[in-house]
Amino acid sequence: MLNEALEKKKQFLKDVQSEQDSRNIPLKHVGISDLRWPLVLRDRQKGEQHTVATVSVAVDLPKDLRGTHMSRFVQCLQKLDIVNLSALEEVLDDLKESLLADRAFLKLEFPYFIQKEAPVSGLSSVMDLNCVYTMEKGTHFTQKVEVQVPIQTLCPCSREISAYGAHNQRAVASLEIEASEFVWIEELAEMADAGASAPVYGLLKRPDEKFVTEEAYDNPRFVEDAVREIALRLEADPRISWYRATVKSFESIHNHNAFACVEKGWK
């Protein structure tokens, strides 16, 4: 009898979110953010990698609806296990269908770990990269992949005008792309390293430190130089249809940072 009464009460719960709204203002994104979610990613060396993402998920809300059903966002994410394009698009399709929306949005921010060998000793160590997947589907499915790679820059001006030495610092290269085919996160990391004065490593012994220090000195680059070198490599990849690259240098002798950005198609 108790279960029957509860079921009857449930049937008459008011659906406040579906009430009509008379203010005539459509909303671009309505959803949930800062949700932690386990992911399984493709890994070039190991086959797959487990990580944890911070998730934002949303839909557009028509002007005549008061709200959306927040629990359905989490329900639609239940299918997300191994991350690939078809799985991500399926989540967006489920969101559109479940929430009667014309457009759905999904953003995953997560650490991705690569193995990197020191240049002289050959010792391998783990290094983490911050990554962001941003997906949207209205009529068509679009996906952007962003990888943030720590690199090193050494100032050409400082080397040219100094009697000895030159100021150098850690920087971050952010590569954001749209691609027609799968591009490994590791490939983007390699493009970032190629644009730097020298790469950054997780583990270096003294012979490695000597090599990296001298490599940077022999390869001085402004942030402008670094981002252009990265752009050349992105432009040469036929899979990449659009890109935005930014290099931000955490300046060692200034009370500010320096950055440069390039975007495909910008004029």
pLDDT for res 15: 52
CA 91 to chain centre: 18
- Number of separate domains in the chain: 1
- The per-residue pLDDT for range 67-104, each reduced to its tens digit, is 566 778 888 888 777 777 778 888 999 988 888 889 99
Q: What three-state secondary structure class fits 193?
A: helix
Is 179 within 8 Å of 240 (Cβ atoms)?
A: yes
**Nearest-angstrom CA–CA distance, 79 and 91:** 7
Residue whose tokens read 């489920």? 94
pLDDT for res 157: 95
Residue 14 lies in a domain: no
pLDDT for res 125: 96
State the average pLDDT for the chain.
89
For 69-93, b/e burial (b = at least 16 CB within 10 A) is eeebbeebbeebeebeeeebbebbe
Residue 161 lies in a domain: yes
**Nearest-angstrom CA–CA distance, 22 and 93:** 28
pLDDT for res 8: 59
Residue 12 lies in a domain: no
Residue 110 lies in a domain: yes
- The per-residue pLDDT for range 129-169, each reduced to its tens digit, is 999 999 999 999 999 999 999 999 999 999 999 999 999 99
Q: Which two tokens stand for residue 149?
A: 């790679």
**Domain extent at residue 216:** 21-263
**Nearest-angstrom CA–CA distance, 228 and 208:** 27
Is 72 within 8 Å of 101 (Cβ atoms)?
A: no
pLDDT for res 4: 64
pLDDT for res 69: 67
pLDDT for res 5: 55
Residue 16 lies in a domain: no
Residue 83 lies in a domain: yes
- Please count the CA atoms within 13 angstroms of the CA of 213 that sit on its side-chain side: 10
Is 88 within 8 Å of 135 (Cβ atoms)?
A: yes
Closest CA to 239 of 183, 192, 189: 183
Residue 11 lies in a domain: no
User: What residue ranges of the chain have pLDDT lower than 50?
Assistant: 16
**DSSP strand pairing (27-43 vs 104-117):** unpaired
Residue 183 lies in a domain: yes
CATH number at residue 27: 3.10.270.10
**CB neighbours of residue 218 within 10 Å:** 11
